[in-house]
Structure 1
């Protein structure tokens, strides 16, 4: 292994280590953090959806309580019961009515109505001891003390008739009018009423909690002292807390005082976009491995012949030239400095290319002189002049003949022949050409010139625009059956980033996309009648002038017109 190879490999290894470190840090900032933010936003939206559903469910219970209280049957039976509380039949009728109302809404365990002057009346299903205790507790007293409005209780567990414990939530509300003053309490089976929401929460989040306005767990279960931690989170007043373990979403219901806490771990968040991370790692791993292997092979391939050639070429240079260039270096680059004089050979090659290019330009000049004057065009124009003369349209004869004269004068300038001409001169010549065609085919063609004064002085290859317009006239706008020419042609010449863009577009019959592509790459049938003849000449001249440094684009579709765009370097 040569010295240059060792140096190059060391540089590549250090470079790759730096890129790996920088790439890891950049990946976290550019890829991982935005992906995590996107995943967090997704869970935030899910959490907001669940809050809306919970809020809506509680609102329905509130409306359901109003429905019970304002029921005429309930009000009438409460009034009668207050007048004769010892009457068992009246108590039973009220209980029966409340029992029937329990079936109006799913998830209702029972209903109690309590007037201030008589004992409370329950629906026919006997309440549990826990539900009875609720009506003697602080929450119920607070509801009774309110002038109006109601509220939900803290959750509690109640025993069903079959002995199983269920989660129960109660809603109480006072109702007053000029005749009645009573409280309606609805006992709700929390699991049946909000089970769908809770299942959705449990499926989307790893941990979910509900807390009361007093920052206590809704059902009082303190799992391994988590209530204290949750209280600390709520006390921060933030709705979004990103911890080392994961993310907490802390939200309050929009209309009710319950607090929702949902937790999602970082592992789950990363799992959401883990497939993207895996694909990125595989891609970058394969890219780095392949590029490293490729660079090492290239270093070996390049430096080995360089070492050999540096000695062979140094001897050849010493025999032919006296010029020396010395670079103080202890590797093969120092040896290659002795081959500096090889630039003389490159210079000779460059001069040869200049001579070849000048020869090609001369050939193009002759090609231009031979192709600029179309005999058919001159003949047809003279026939037009003859026709106008017979019609005694002397002014038109002068116009057409003047236009033809200007075109011929421009095309046959041999004394000061130039390969390039200004945009202004090209536009001037093309206008005369269009003036002649208007007399021949009528004035149903409208040419729109989108050329600013800024580019009028720019130089473009001579006779570039007229063949494109001629193609638009006879192969785009001409009717194949009648020969009538009608439509619009748009000519745009602009400058962008030191390049000239020439576009000729028509709204004629167009062509298939496949044919347009063939014309663009030069695979057209030049022996057939069509656009290809003019385009091939333009492509050949542009190739002589610019080599590969130009672009010709053709876009078209049948019935939608054709656009030809030429992009070339601006002449200094």
Structure 2
């Protein structure tokens, strides 16, 4: 069984559209997948940098607190001075210094306690209790303090350890001790004592808990590699393998374990932050792209079928009619006529079919109509020559102003340019002619543009009776002549020039005169132009395409009795005169061009 042409076209359209949408959707998916992956990595890098900056701020605050304590002269003297007359005097002095330290840490809730070790190795704890002094002395025997040595630097942050706690309702608390060296003022190379600031570990971890939820694994290490905080399904041992073996500062990104890791080693105290995001989590973030493109393809396919189906029916219906009519003609019936108004080649085919069944007189009438259509097409092509010629000059002016950064002037210029373009696109049945008023407005907009490019170089004067503004003239015949007068008459000379447009009525004719006081032209050039020759010599003072276009259009519309005249001589300016019929009604349809 034969398939109808409608089914064939619909099937082919469906296959082509489906394949095109699938290919474009696949390309778009992988393209946007790459973009969103880069964005997700960038977001993760930004977030871990923000975490690092927050920790650095907390570290800096602790350091500033410690510095304010160790530079206190009384604390310095106590640490260095050992010759107290008796134990009670030393205890009294120690309590005074501990009171000062307690005042410094009182408003900082993240500080658990503080302690001082003087040059003799005596421990003074901030609770001012001898028992707690011994308690903290014993804490110094634990592993967290054994990692500290004199080469650890001015500031050292220890491993987490447990310490007695009474203020938070628990027996013990996990703290990190910031160990700060007292330096002897007289001998800075010598360490005179140590200051211990015991910071609650959750001062750091509570911020990390909030900001590490978007990762599959997150790790915080101190500079010895001790795990300070770990979160996620990825083990800390696995996360440690992401850290580069070389001690690089800053940020490191690498893809590993079916995902990517980011290592931040920019903290001043040697701490490291490691985050890991799996591909599964990454794809979970951007899976909406897949669903969006899938829905887009399905919806687009449905809309295309809905839109194309009536078009296919409209195309195939004339073909069905043509098939039936051809069979009628084959059977000898020549009195059949097809009425197809599809506005495309099928309508032309139906007209051709009807012409075959008409008599010779009808055929000759159609031939005349075809000749008219051909002439109209040639005329529209001739008219289109004006637009590229004009736009080229206007764009040069806009570029000139843009390079001088005159934004306000460009806005004004662009408005005039838009008005000209709006007028220029009115080409069609009613767009071949215009009123004198509209033509004057276009010229004024054009002059506005050129005055920005050539300030104080020329003036434009209009001399006409305002009652002529409603008369009908061919579109775009004054502006090219004003342009020629400006560029090839006024601009080549050094003095300021004047362009005068005079419009008068002589009987049933309208005369348009465009005069300039520019450099003029040679008689040989005028003769060639008036004879219709195309002048390409560099010394020509007028743009031949503009004059030839206007001359040919006038003769085409009104006949050879109308046209264009040129009067000029070198150094004395140029006068171009156009005479056309005086008309106040716009021609209707294309029949006026026949």
Instruction: Identify the TM-score tier after normalising by the shorter chain.
Output: 0.5 to 0.7
Shift in CA distance, 235/429, structure 1 to aligned 2, threshold 3 Å: closer
CA contact (8 A) 2:25 2:297 kept: no
What is the TM-score normalised by the length of structure 1? 0.56
Q: Which residue of 2 aligns with 1:167?
A: 174
Verify: 1:255 aligned to 2:273, yes or no: no
Residue of structure 2 equivalent to 1:520: none
The residue aligned with 2:102 is 99
8 Å contact 1:248–1:264 — kept in the other structure?
A: yes
| d(CA) in 2 for partners of 1:246, 1:546 | 75
What are the superposed Cα offsets for residues 543-564 of structure 1, whole Å, 9 maximum, x if unpaired? 86999xxxxxxxxxxxxxxxxx
Q: Residue 55 of structure 1 contacts residue 254 of structure 1 at CA under 8 Å; is this kept in 2?
A: yes
Q: Residues 521-560 of structure 1 correspond to what in structure 2 (within 5 A)?
A: none
Distance, in Å, in 2 between the alignment partners of 1:287 and 1:540 is 46
Match of 2:545 in 1: 457
Segments of structure 2 that go 5 or more residues without pairing to the other structure are: 335-346, 357-362, 380-427, 438-460, 465-470, 487-497, 505-515, 519-539, 554-582
Q: Does 1:234 align with 2:243?
A: yes
Report the Cα distance in structure 1 between the residues aligned to 2:254 and 2:224, rounded to whole angstroms: 21
CA distance in structure 2 between the partners assigned to 1:272 and 1:436 by the alignment: 72
Counterparts of 1:210-249 in structure 2, within 5 Å, are 210-218=220-228, 226-235=235-244, 239-242=252-255, 246-249=259-262
The match for 2:71 is: 70
- 2:34 corresponds to 1:29: no
* 3-state SS, counterpart of residue 304 of structure 2: helix
**Residues 85, 91 of structure 1: 8 Å contact kept:** no
The structural deviation recorded for 1:71 is 1.2
8 Å contact kept, 1:169–1:189: yes
Q: In 2, Cα distance between the equivalents of 1:270 and 1:354?
A: 66
Superimposed CA distance per residue, residues 10-67 of structure 1 (whole angstroms, 9 cap, x where no aligned partner): 4334324423441342122322321232233223222212211111211221222111
CA contact (8 A) 1:423 1:456 kept: no
Matches within 5 A, 1:113-124: 113-124=116-127
Distance 1:355 1:225, change over 3 A: closer
CA RMSD of the aligned region, Å? 5.4
1:150 to 155, 180, 188: 155
Note the C-alpha offset of 1:209: 1.9
What does residue 53 of structure 1 align with?
Answer: 54
Q: Is 2:295 the counterpart of 1:282?
A: yes
Q: Which shows bigger deviation, 97-106 or 130-139?
A: 130-139
The verdict on how the C-alpha distance between 1:463 and 1:113 changes in structure 2, with shifts beyond 3 A counting, is farther
1:352 corresponds to which of 369, 379, 397 = 369
Gap change, CA 1:318 and 1:457, over 3 Å in 2: farther
1:373-522 to 2 correspondences below 5 Å: 425=481, 427=483, 433-434=500-501, 457-458=545-546, 459-461=548-550
Flag the 1:342–1:250 CA change in 2: closer, same or farther, 3 A: farther
Decide whether the 8 Å contact of 1:206 with 1:264 is kept in 2.
yes
Q: Is 1:111 equivalent to 2:114 in the alignment?
A: yes
Partner secondary structure for residue 215 of structure 1: coil
Give the superposition deviation at 1:263: 3.6
Q: Answer with 82-91 or 52-61: which moved more.
A: 82-91
Native 8 Å contact 2:217 2:239 kept in 1: no
C-alpha distance in structure 1 between counterparts of 2:231 and 2:125, whole Å: 32
Aligned counterparts of 1:435 and 1:25: Cα–Cα separation in 2: 65
Distance in 2 between the 1:272 and 1:67 partners?
A: 47
What is the match of residue 209 of structure 1? Answer: 219
Mapped partners of 2:305, 2:30: distance in 1: 25
Q: Which residue of 1 aligns with 2:390?
A: none
Q: For residues 150 and 546 of structure 1, what CA distance do their matches in structure 2 show? A: 98
The residue matched to 2:159 in structure 1 has which SS? coil
- Number of residue-to-residue matches in the alignment: 405
SS in 2 for 1:261: strand
Question: For the Cα contact (< 8 Å) 1:146–1:174, is it kept in 2?
Answer: no
What TM-score do the two structures reach when normalised by structure 2?
A: 0.54
Asked whether the 8 Å contact 1:173–1:185 carries over to 2, the reply is yes
- 1:281 offset after TM fit, Å? 4.2
Q: Aligned pair in 2 of structure 1 residues 433, 18: CA closer, same or farther (>3 Å)?
A: same
- Aligned pair partner of 1:182 in 177, 193, 196: 193
Post-superposition shift, 1:187?
A: 0.7
- How many Å separate the matches in 2 of 1:281 and 1:262? 33
Match of 1:197 in 2: 207
Cα distance change, pair 456–9 in 1 and its aligned pair in 2 (3 A)? same
Which residue number in structure 1 is paired with residue 416 of structure 2? Answer: none
Distance in 1 between residues matched to 2:183 and 2:295, nearest whole Å? 71
- CA deviation after TM superposition for structure 1 residue 207, in Å: 4.0
Please give the alpha-carbon distance, in whole angstroms, between the structure 2 residues aligned to 1:129 and 1:301: 101
Structure 1 range deviating more: 116-125 or 273-282: 273-282
Tell me how far apart the structure 1 counterparts of residues 543 and 47 of structure 2 sit (CA, whole Å): 58
For residues 204 and 38 of structure 1, the distance between their equivalents in structure 2, rounded to whole angstroms, comes to 14
Cα distance in 1 for residues equivalent to 2:351 and 2:270: 85
User: CA, structure 1 residues 28+125, in 2 after alignment: closer, same or farther (shift >3 Å)?
Assistant: farther
Gap regions ≥5 residues in structure 1: 322-335, 374-399, 405-410, 412-417, 438-445, 465-536, 548-572
